[in-house]
Structure 1
Amino acid sequence: MPKVIDHDQRRREIVEVAKRLIAAGGFEAATMRSIVTAAGFANGALKHYFANKDGIIAATFESVLRETDTRVSTLDPSASPADALRGFVEAAMPLDEHRITSARVLLVLWEHSVANPDLARQYRELLTAWRAELTRRIAAACTQGRTPESPTVGTLADEIISVTIGANVASLMHPVGDLIDRYSDYVDSVLTRIAA
């Protein structure tokens, strides 16, 4: 009887290999040949799962974005508005080795997305959704009765997004974990300002 292959699992395995290669050596390290070799597949086997490298890169990009969504989806739905906001912000900050590695992959793929309209669109949609959710959570955590449409709330959301992106970039220039305390302090500080 022929072996049953879980094609979705194989695609996930290929994406994980691509992530590891990109994290270790940048975009150029994830060639079709290096992915096949690292995954332990025969030459040409990738064609059954992805038409080309762009397909693997798109799936890798989506996978990294989904990781943040997964962290957010596991937050306690009964948490206070301030704790819900904290969890949402912390989900995107480089506060552990896994998130720092994900940031490395995402930053490499951002550069590639400039020349890839589909990836650029995905990232714009992510930022738009992220900002909308942040404004909702900030307004809920404010003790001053602000709405998500308030300019102050929008400014805070833009600050958090900018700091988070900057923190992810800076975390790549330091030994893993060196900046975690600094970024945890930032989250505490911004939440104190929102609650004041």
Structure 2
Amino acid sequence: MPKIIDHDQRRREIVAVAKKLIIQGGFEAATMRSIVAEAGFANGALKRYFPNKDSIVAATFQSVLAEMNEQIGSDEPSPDPREALRHDVEATLPLDQYRIDSARVLLALWEHSVSNDELAALYRAHLQDWRRRLAERIAAARGKGEPADAPAVIELAGEVIGVTIGANVTALMFPDGALIPEHRAYVDRLMRNLDD
């Protein structure tokens, strides 16, 4: 009897291998040949799941963004709007090894998306959704009855996104987590100064 293959599982395995190779050696390390070798597939087997490297890159990008969104929504949101905001901000900062590794993958993929319109559109949509969610959380946490599109709220959401992206970039230079206390201190300052 022929072996039944779960093709969706195979795709997830290939994406996991691509992510691992990017973490270890950057975007250039995730070649079709290295992915096939690391995954233990025959040479032609990879094309059955992904026709080219760009399709693997797109799937890896989507996977990392989905993991990030899952991290944000991993816990039941606190009924306290301030704690819900804290949770969401901390979920996007490189505060553990898993998130530091994910930052490495995201940064490699961001660079690639500059020359790939499909990936750029995917990331822009992610940024817009992230900004919207963050603005809603900030407006609720400030407790002033402001709408999520109030200028002060939008400005603060932009600041948080900018700091988060910067923290993910600098985490690459400190993969041992040396900057984690600094990132936690930022979250504490943000929460203290939320009403300003």
Same fold (TM over 0.5): yes
Partner of 1:71: 71
Partner of 1:153: 153
Q: Which runs of 4+ in 1 moved over 4 A?
A: none
Partner of 1:133: 133
Q: Any residues of structure 2 matched to 1:180-195 within 5 Å, and which?
A: 180-195=180-195
Contact residue 23 and residue 105 of structure 1 kept, 8 A? yes
Deviation readout 1:72-124 (Å, 9 max, x if unpaired): 22222343101110111111100000000000001001110011000000000
Deviation readout 1:20-57 (Å, 9 max, x if unpaired): 11111111111100000000111111011111111100
TM-score, normalised relative to structure 2: 0.97
List runs of 5+ in structure 1 lacking aligned partners: none
Q: What is the alpha-carbon distance in structure 2 between the residues aligned to residue 26 and residue 17 of structure 1?
A: 13
1:121 paired with 2:121, answer yes
**Counterpart AA for 2:164:** T
Q: Any residues of structure 2 matched to 1:18-167 within 5 Å, and which?
A: 18-167=18-167
TM-score, normalised relative to structure 1: 0.97
Contact residue 100 and residue 175 of structure 2 kept, 8 A? no
Q: Secondary structure at the match of 1:194?
A: coil
List runs of 5+ in structure 2 lacking aligned partners: none
Of 16-25 and 140-149, more deviation after overlay is shown by 140-149
Residue-pair matches, total: 196
1:139 is displaced (CA, Å) by 0.4
